[in-house]
Structure formats: C-alpha cells, structure tokens
Chains A and B, each alone.
Chain A
Amino acid sequence: MPLLEISNLKKAYAAPDGGANVVVDVPEFKLDTQAQVALSGESGSGKTTFLNLIAGILAPDTGSIKLNGLELAGLRESARDRVRATTIGYIFQTFNLLQGYTALENVLLGMSFGPGADREFAKALLKRVGLDAKLNHLPRQLSTGQQQRVAVARALANRPKLVLADEPTGNLDHTNARESLKLIREACRENGAALLLVSHDREVLGQFDAVQELHKLNRAAEQPVS
C-alpha cells in the first residue's frame, strides 16, 4: 500500500470576478513508503498549494488524500493538525524558523506538538546536520546554509513518515544547495521517511531518479512557456 495516495483532488479559490479559480486539480498521485520523488514545478504550477493540501494546512474542496491509510480530506482542522504534528515534516524555501527561538528550541518545537519534546534526539539531529556547536544560536546568528540545516533537523524531529520540501534550496547558493539537498535525502533515508520535494531547479531535479512534472500532474497548472 502506498504511503500517500491522492485521487481527484481539487482546490479552488474565489476569483476577483466572483467565480472559482481552480489551483489544484490532480486526478491521481501516489508515493511509496520511504520513496524519494521530485516534482518539477514552475511558479504558478500550484506546488505550494498542493503540498499544503497534503500537509493538511489546507482542506481540499473535493477528492481524497490518504496518508498512511488515513483519509485526510474528511478530517476536521484539529485532526489534520494532529496528523501533521505526528506524521509530516515540512521544509520551506524560506526555512520559516522562529526567530526568537534557538536552533535547539526550533527543533524541540517541531517535536512538542507531536510525540513530545526529546532533548537528546533534538541534539542528535542537530549534530547530524553539523550544528552541534550551534545549539543555542538564534537563527540570525546562523548563516543561510546553517538555517536550512536547522529546518531539516526540525522537519525530522517528529520522526515523520513523510517529509515535504518546497523549493528547499531556492534561497541557497550553488554549493550550499547541493550539500543541503544531499543532507535532506540522506537524513530522510536514515530516518525512514519518504521525501516529496518540489523544485524548478534542473540541477536539483537531476539528483532524483523519480521526477514528475507538476504541470502534467496538475490539470489546473499554468502550462510552462516554451
């Protein structure tokens, strides 16, 4: 059974003219346990909305999202929050670290809404991403690459079955991007988590065996300019 199984997923927003602006229309998508899949998506392809639907941040208008056998589409918001806290890790392009919290506290927060704070595991994760000497540094005291690594450790903090990564290297330079991607993939593998990564960077996409084009997957996506 796939870890993630999506069918007939639709999400629309109200358009200024009063009509519906369909952003996501995905007939079918599957992701196996511990698989690592990249989705290539340009701006306007609906990739963030698609990931937010899988994460339960947004509720679909119609369709089904089954994660680890659990149907998310019919769940109430608080139940989806619970699923996200226990099953999903999320890496953002802008890292989205909490600026008032140290690296260690950011990772501990990633745990505390789910399985509960485990200081030793949080330290081990930060050590794994090479930040064991920066545990008590605030995000502003870290380089961009180091902030991304904190975000990776935080995404794995709740021992997720699925890690979602939205343009995780978009804010990094070439060298940092390559190292960061390697780290994300290795860390997911070591922790038994599947990885669903969205990017428009050809070099990033080139690292993956399985790449799907979001504008083909999502019928509502704007078609790329050729």
Chain B
Amino acid sequence: MTLPLIVAKSLRQHLLSTVVTAASIALAGGLLMAVWVVKTQSNDAFTKQNAGFDAVLGARSAKLQLVLNAIFHLEASPGNLPWTDYEDIAKNAAVALALPIAVGDNYHGYRLVGTTTNLFTVEHAPGRKYRVAEGEEFAAGYMEAVLGSFAARQLKLKVGDKFHPYHGLNFDEKQKHDELYVVIGILEPSNTPADRVIWIPLEGIQNMKGHDAKSAAEISAVLVKLKNPIAGRGLELMYNKQGNRLTFAWPIAQVVAELFGKIAWFDKVLELVVWLVAAVATGSVLASIYNSMNERRRDIAILRALGARAHTIFLAVVLECAAIAVLGMIAAFAVYLGITTVAAHIIRTETGVVLDAFAWHPILAWAPAAMIGLSALAGVIPAVKAYRTNVAENLVPVS
C-alpha cells in the first residue's frame, strides 16, 4: 500500500507537470499507434482489395494505373478499348466473368461508371454479392442509376431522386449533361471502392450527348474474374508479351503491392519520426521528474527519516514515471481513436477503402508497453538522484 500511496500523492502534488507530461505521452503514443495502424491497415486494405475480381484488361498502359482506375475508381482512364476485346476475353475458357466498364462522367465528384447488370452477380467477398438494399437494379438501356451506399449518403440522394451527370472525372458545373437520371436503387455497403460509385447502364456512358461518337463502341476496361486465378498467367502472356495493344493487370494484389513497395522508404521515415516523437515524450517524463527533484528532497528526507529504505525511494520515482506513462497511454487511446477515425474517413472518402479504428493490431499492446517501459527507464536517472539524497542535510534545521 505504501508505494502506490507515495506515487499517487506525488502525482497529485505535482499535478500540473503530471498532466502536461501525461498529455505529451498521450499525443506521442496516440500518434505512434495511429500511424502504425493506418499504415498497416491501408497496406492490407489496398493489397487485399480486388472488389471481387482477379484482373483488369485495359488499353496499353501501366498496370497500376489500370487497377487504380478500374478497381479503386481513382486516376484517369488510360484510354479505351473496342467492344470486341471485351467479347474476346468474355469467351475465353479461363474466364468466369467479364464485366465491361465505361467511365468519363461524374456527379459532384462521384464517378458514374457504366456497366452491365452482371455487376449484381459478382461476389465481392465470399458469399456476398453487390446487392441492392433499397429500390431495384437498373435495367440496360434506361437512364437509371444505382448508387453505392457511401455515394448516396454523401450526395444525400435517395431512390426516386433525379440528377444530371457532369462531363469528366472531376466536377465542373459548366460541364453539365442534358440527360436526366433517376436513382432507382442504393447498394448495401460492401466496404469496397464500389460504395463510392454511381452505377449506370453501360450504354448511358457510351451514348451520353457530347461524348465522342466513337465511344459508343468502346469501353474503358474489363474487370475479369477467372475460373482459376492461376490461369491469369496464360492471359498475361497473351496480352502483355505477345500483344502490344492491351494490358492485362494480374494479379491485382501484386500490382498494388508494387505501389506500396515504391513508397516503402516513406513508411520507414514515418516510422522513424513517430519513434523519435515517442522518445522525446518519454524524455519529457525524465525532464519533468528530474527538474522537480530539488523540491522533492525534503519529502524524500522525511520518508527516509521515517524508515523508508533508499531503494524504496528509488522504486517510487521509477514507478511514478511509469504511472505518468500509464495515464498518458490511457489517454493515448482516445488520441488514437480520434486520429484513426479522421484518417479512416478521409481514406474512405478519397478511395472507398474502409479502415476499422477498432480493429486489433499488436501495436496497440506494444506501444503502451514500450512507452511505459521507456518512461520507467527514463525514471532511473532521477531515481538515482533520489536514492542519493542526503537525509541529514535535507532535514533542516541542523545545529
């Protein structure tokens, strides 16, 4: 009971420095955990995200651009391909499903993607298809739209609402199309980039007034689901090595992993920065306790005069540093949740990729353990000073 009492009393007696130091630990610890979780979850989410497809076929371009455009609905389309290319790959014996898509329009920044009703047969996750939660599926050839759940929420559109699409992938109010689309359905959340897309019949994009007449017989890409993912090797050979007109991006995870591989150095720098921030915060524990040692000397001398052993005082100072870190790390979880929630919202808005702030990650145990351990270690320096406090000199007055 004695040690916890001494520690608790000391924390209370130095309340301001306790709060300030714990706050610095909270910010550093929260930042450390948030950066780690956002980094690893983003990496996982992007590399494991394929929206239910194994490959993308598109115009000759970089595979990454093709995947970002067709799967994540980011980046510009690298160009169009003739409808016949879709027909060819759809007939290939290795292909289970080929879904043509056409892009080029938006509504307030949310992409319109033209496709066929086969979209609703795609399993984006085992046992889960793109299902309409409200309303119904669009019918080919009609000016009907089915909205991804996130797009519908952000645009505040509901079944029965009507809207005019805008030309281009970025919103420009001067680029309004004359066509009027009606929202006929809203998809249930899939936690894929499809959630932030406005899906319309393929013909809608192809025949939109103002589009190049050539585009009526063209598409932007084909999303491919293979009967056996290994079969992608043969198709890759056929399109990428033997041909020079199209690009077959397969496997999607590897294509995205290459992106993360290119920015791995940035990850390392980020890791180093957050560890430095954590080290500075634990250093603040040392500075705070060490600077207050002069005013603690008399209390330490009194405790010693009452019979407290020097190692008890040593332990009390180390425990006080650890206790500040414990308080800080409890608050750090609030900081962590704040940062990850904001980061998850931004990432979802920008990419459609969903992060879970409440998901378990080992860093959530490692970071508190490391911060508390480092703070206790930092406490050794003032603890040595406390250990060496001259009892007789600090029990004034002396005659």
> What is A's interface to B at a CB cutoff of 8 Å?
41, 43-49, 52, 55, 57-58, 77-78, 81-82, 84-86, 90, 92-94, 96-101, 105, 109-110, 112-114, 117, 154, 158
Q: Beyond A48-B398, A85-B307, list 11 extra A-B contacts (CB 8 Å).
A: A45-B399, A47-B399, A48-B395, A48-B397, A81-B304, A84-B305, A84-B306, A94-B396, A96-B302, A96-B305, A99-B13
Can you list 27 A-B contacts (CB < 8 A)? A47-B399, A48-B392, A49-B392, A49-B398, A57-B395, A78-B310, A81-B310, A82-B307, A82-B309, A84-B305, A90-B305, A94-B396, A98-B299, A98-B302, A98-B303, A99-B13, A99-B299, A100-B10, A100-B13, A109-B2, A109-B303, A112-B5, A113-B303, A113-B307, A113-B312, A114-B307, A117-B2
Q: Which of B353-399 contact A (CB under 8 A)?
A: 391-392, 395-399
Given A94-B397, A100-B10, the answer on whether A77 and B310 have CB atoms closer than 8 Å is: yes
Closest to A43 in B: B399
B263–chain A nearest beta-carbon distance, Å: 52
> What is B's interface to A at a CB cutoff of 8 Å?
1-2, 5, 9-10, 12-13, 298-299, 301-312, 391-392, 395-399
B309 pairs with A110, CB closer than 8 A: no
B12–chain A nearest beta-carbon distance, Å: 6
Q: Which residue of A43, A109, A117 is within 8 Å of B306 (Cβ)?
A: A109
Closest to A95 in B: B302
Closest to B298 in A: A96
Could you say which residues of chain A place their CB within 8 Å of the CB of B10? 100
Given A49-B398, A78-B311, A100-B10, the answer on whether A110 and B392 have CB atoms closer than 8 Å is: no
Could you say which residues of chain A place their CB within 8 Å of the CB of B304? 57, 81
A-B contact count (CB 8 A): 88
Could you say which residues of chain A place their CB within 8 Å of the CB of B302? 96-98
Whole-angstrom CA separation of A77 from B304 in the bound complex: 11
Whole-angstrom CA separation of A93 from B399 in the bound complex: 11
A112 pairs with B1, CB closer than 8 A: yes
Whole-angstrom CA separation of A81 from B307 in the bound complex: 5
Given A81-B310, A93-B397, A101-B9, the answer on whether A57 and B305 have CB atoms closer than 8 Å is: yes
Could you say which residues of chain B place their CB within 8 Å of the CB of A154? 306
A134–chain B nearest beta-carbon distance, Å: 18
Task: Name the prevailing secondary structure of the B interface residues.
Answer: helix
Whole-angstrom CA separation of A86 from B307 in the bound complex: 8
Closest to B302 in A: A96
A106–chain B nearest beta-carbon distance, Å: 9
Could you say which residues of chain A place their CB within 8 Å of the CB of B397? 48, 93-94
B88–chain A nearest beta-carbon distance, Å: 83
Which of A98, A110, A114 has most chain B Cβ within 10 Å? A98
Whole-angstrom CA separation of A43 from B399 in the bound complex: 5
Whole-angstrom CA separation of A47 from B299 in the bound complex: 22
B18–chain A nearest beta-carbon distance, Å: 12
Closest to B309 in A: A81
A117–chain B nearest beta-carbon distance, Å: 6
A55 pairs with B399, CB closer than 8 A: no
Could you say which residues of chain A place their CB within 8 Å of the CB of B310? 77-78, 81
Closest to A87 in B: B307
Please provide the 3 A-B residue pairs with the shortest distance between their CB atoms, ordered closest to farther. Answer: A85-B307, A113-B307, A112-B2
B307 pairs with A44, CB closer than 8 A: no
B395 pairs with A92, CB closer than 8 A: yes
Could you say which residues of chain B place their CB within 8 Å of the CB of A98? 9, 299, 302-303
Whole-angstrom CA separation of A96 from B396 in the bound complex: 9
Q: Which residue of B1, B301, B399 is within 8 Å of A48 (Cβ)?
A: B399
B308 pairs with A113, CB closer than 8 A: yes
Could you say which residues of chain B place their CB within 8 Å of the CB of A96? 298, 301-302, 305, 395
B398 pairs with A85, CB closer than 8 A: no
A204–chain B nearest beta-carbon distance, Å: 15
Closest to A50 in B: B399
Closest to A105 in B: B5
Which of A84, A109, A117 has most chain B Cβ within 10 Å? A109
B308 pairs with A117, CB closer than 8 A: no
Given A43-B399, A98-B299, A113-B312, the answer on whether A58 and B392 have CB atoms closer than 8 Å is: yes
Could you say which residues of chain B place their CB within 8 Å of the CB of A109? 2, 5, 303, 306
B399 pairs with A41, CB closer than 8 A: yes
Whole-angstrom CA separation of A105 from B13 in the bound complex: 14
Q: Which residue of A94, A117, A158 is within 8 Å of B307 (Cβ)?
A: A158
Whole-angstrom CA separation of A94 from B396 in the bound complex: 8
Closest to B312 in A: A113
Closest to A157 in B: B306
Could you say which residues of chain A place their CB within 8 Å of the CB of B305? 55, 57, 84, 90, 92, 96
B2 pairs with A113, CB closer than 8 A: yes
Could you say which residues of chain B place their CB within 8 Å of the CB of A84? 305-307
B288–chain A nearest beta-carbon distance, Å: 17
Could you say which residues of chain A place their CB within 8 Å of the CB of B311? 78
Whole-angstrom CA separation of A98 from B299 in the bound complex: 6
Could you say which residues of chain A place their CB within 8 Å of the CB of B392? 48-49, 52, 57-58
Which of B9, B303, B306, B310 has most chain A Cβ within 10 Å? B306
Closest to B11 in A: A100
Q: Which residue of B299, B301, B306, B391 is within 8 Å of A85 (Cβ)?
A: B306
Could you say which residues of chain A place their CB within 8 Å of the CB of B306? 84-85, 90, 109-110, 113, 154
Could you say which residues of chain B place their CB within 8 Å of the CB of A93? 397
A50–chain B nearest beta-carbon distance, Å: 10
Could you say which residues of chain B place their CB within 8 Å of the CB of A77? 310
Whole-angstrom CA separation of A85 from B2 in the bound complex: 13
Could you say which residues of chain A place their CB within 8 Å of the CB of B399? 41, 43-48
